[in-house]
């Protein structure tokens, strides 16, 4: 499936993120162990193309090991493809070095990691505000934005709690709030409702839907049917390749 792009598109309809024929191959082990010059490789993705436009929530579904996390990492500029091109806001991510991609993510991408990646020494409010420190926001503005987002995810009474004092579901919601702190063009979420009950999942999915109304895009990978049902489109990954079904 090739992204529907051509030179006539303006910035309003240009995809937030697109991938054209991307593959990702990982080398596994030490070549010397096998007595030959090259180590065996794993093909995590094989010729994947997709396009996500402003206002869309796109789901990535598929069995464990199908390449979902690898695809998310490439779309979020955490990694670059072995072949093919990922473009974020019209610019190919492989044009940047490591530092350039870090800056790109900070300014344009919000990431919800499956394992949260919260700092245990910081309060919920400080964890949410952390990306804004890197962007140089004044302290008062960082605090106001973090409190606003914690209210959005139903944790306004837990702002001064540290991750160790919170449940897994509460930590999940903090991670989601942090991903939204910079008002990113793209939010990439790996199992964003995996630790949440049905009511909390509904609230988070409504929040993700709400931000797409502001011309942002969301790509989420999930095994949760409630999350998948909330998407505009679902890409099914199997053995590193995709098919699409409109839902």
pLDDT value at 27 more than 50 = yes
Mean pLDDT of 133-156: 94
- pLDDT score for 247: 47
Q: Are 241 and 22 in contact (CB under 8 A)?
A: no
Specify the pLDDT at position 3.
40
d(CA 91, CA 88): 5
Domains of the chain and any CATH numbers:
55-80+95-246 (3.40.50.300)
pLDDT value at 8 more than 80? no
pLDDT at site 7: 41
Whole-model pTM: value is 0.84
CB 120 within 8 A of CB 162: yes
User: DSSP readout, the chain?
Assistant: ------TT--TTTS-SEEEEEEEEEEE-S-GGGGTSSS--EEEEEEEEEEEE-TT-EEEEE--TTSSHHHHHHHHTTSS--SEEEEEETTEEGGGS-HHHHHHHHHHHEEEE-TT----TTS-HHHHHHHHHHHTT--HHHHHHHHHHHHHHTT-TT-TT--GGGS-HHHHHHHHHHHHTTT--SEEEEESTTTT--HHHHHHHHHHHHHHHTTT-EEEEE-S-HHHHHTSSEEEEEETTEEEEEE-
Describe the strand order of the beta sheet including 57-61 as a list of residue ranges: 109-112, 186-190, 217-221, 57-61, 233-238, 241-246
Q: pLDDT class for 1, splitting at 50, 70, 90? A: very low
Percent of the chain scoring above 90 in pLDDT:
58
Q: What are phi and psi for residue 187, nearest 5 degrees?
A: -115, 125
pLDDT at residue number 102: 92
Q: For 32-76, how does the pLDDT look when each residue is reduced to its tens digit (9 = 90+)?
A: 555 555 666 888 999 999 999 999 999 999 988 888 999 999 999
Predicted confidence (pLDDT) per residue in 161-196, tens digit: 999 999 888 898 899 899 999 999 999 999 888 878
């Amino acid at each position: 499936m090739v992204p529907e792009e051509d030179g006539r598109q303006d910035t309003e309809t240009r995809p937030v993120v697109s991938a054209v024929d991307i593959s990702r191959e990982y080398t596994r082990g030490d070549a010397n162990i096998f007595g030959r010059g090259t180590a065996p490789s794993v093909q995590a993705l094989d010729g994947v193309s997709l396009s996500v436009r402003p206002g869309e929530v796109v789901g990535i579904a598929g069995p464990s090991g199908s390449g979902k996390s690898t695809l998310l990492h490439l779309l979020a500029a955490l990694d670059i493809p072995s072949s093919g091109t990922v473009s974020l806001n019209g610019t190919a991510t492989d044009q940047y070095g490591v530092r350039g991609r870090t800056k790109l993510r900070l300014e344009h991408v919000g990431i919800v990691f499956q394992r949260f990646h919260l700092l245990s020494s910081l309060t919920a409010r400080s964890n949410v505000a952390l990306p804004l420190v890197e962007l140089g926001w004044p302290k008062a503005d960082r605090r106001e934005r973090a409190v606003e987002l914690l209210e959005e995810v139903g944790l306004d009474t837990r702002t001064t709690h540290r991750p160790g004092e919170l449940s897994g579901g509460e930590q999940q919601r903090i991670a989601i709030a942090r991903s939204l702190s910079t008002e990113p063009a793209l939010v990439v979420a790996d199992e964003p409702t995996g630790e949440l009950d049905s009511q909390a999942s509904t609230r988070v999915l409504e929040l993700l839907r709400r931000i797409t109304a502001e011309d942002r895009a969301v790509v989420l990978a999930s095994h949760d049917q409630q999350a998948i049902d909330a998407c505009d489109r679902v890409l099914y990954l199997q053995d590193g390749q995709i098919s699409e079904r409109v839902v």
